[in-house]
Amino acid sequence: MERGKGKEPEKEKIREKGKEEKEKKEVEKEKIKGKEKGKETGKEEKNKCREEEKKERETEKEKEQLEGKDKEKKDNNALTKPPLEPLEKNKQILVLGLDGAGKTSVLHSLALNKVQHSVAPTQGFNAVCINTEDSQMEFLEIGGSEPFRSYWEMYLSRGLLLIFVVDSADHNRLPEAKKHLHQLIGTNPILPLVVFANKQDLETAYRITDIHEALALSEVGNDRKMFLFGTQVTENGSEIPSVMQDAKDLIAHLAADMQ
């Protein structure tokens, strides 16, 4: 009987040991599950981060595209937007005419008293101040291509006088120049008009009398002061022709009378 009782503790020890082994296995299983879960969570986190990075890149790309479009719009607006409206006491001398007529070259030559060629047509507005012995004149040239012609009449009401430049050798566009000129002067019956029949040095250029007829200048009105000059800007850097100096003096006189 005593020997049987001695075996009971051993059985208990075996049970306890088995229980401990079982618990260890459960713990190991939980650890493995935890690691696997951690791996899955890590994968999910990585995938989530990748998705967020992708979205951020797409968002940045969209922003750049929008900024590019805004910049393009701003650049386009910069070309077509008129300068600040001049005060009434600072009315300007308007220089208008079709693109390619030579407005910028004429204007810069008058300002410098030397022939100054312009390479490209004015894309927008070109303001120039010209000093004389008695005064300072403010000129505003507006581009002659189609997008800028809508501004011509807008600025005409604030002009001291109108200088209209035509290409004497461009016969095909003289009717178009005539149409725009008469539309302009029709809105103001007394505004002084100075016409530059430019590029007189070219062999195909119409002479002064031909330009007078082609532009129907006899119809501009009896109450208007009107002058026609044949001009040319040939040798870059040379002194301006005497006729351009005469035109400059006349413009200064007309501007003084209108102020």
Residue 250 labelled as part of a binding site = no
Query: Would you say how long the chain is, in residues?
Result: 259
Q: Pairing between strand 92-96 and 159-167?
A: parallel
Is 187 labelled a binding residue?
no
Question: Is 200 within any annotated ligand binding site?
Answer: yes
Picking from 125, 130, 78, 88, the residue whose alpha carbon sits closest to that of residue 103 is: 125
Residue 101 is assigned to a ligand binding site: yes
- To 10 degrees, the CA torsion angle through 235, 236, 240, 244? 90
Residue 210 in marked binding region:
no
Judge whether 80 is annotated as a binding position: no
CA distance 233 to 101: 12
Residue 204 marked as a ligand binder: no
Whether residue 252 is annotated as binding a ligand: the answer is no
Does 102 carry a binding-site annotation?
yes
166 phi and psi angles, rounded to 5 deg: -125, 150
Ligand-binding site membership of 144 (annotated): yes
Binding site residues for GTP, as ranges? 97-104, 144, 198-201
Residues forming the annotated binding site?
97-104, 122, 144, 198-201
Can you say which residues are annotated as belonging to the binding site for Mg(2+)? 104, 122
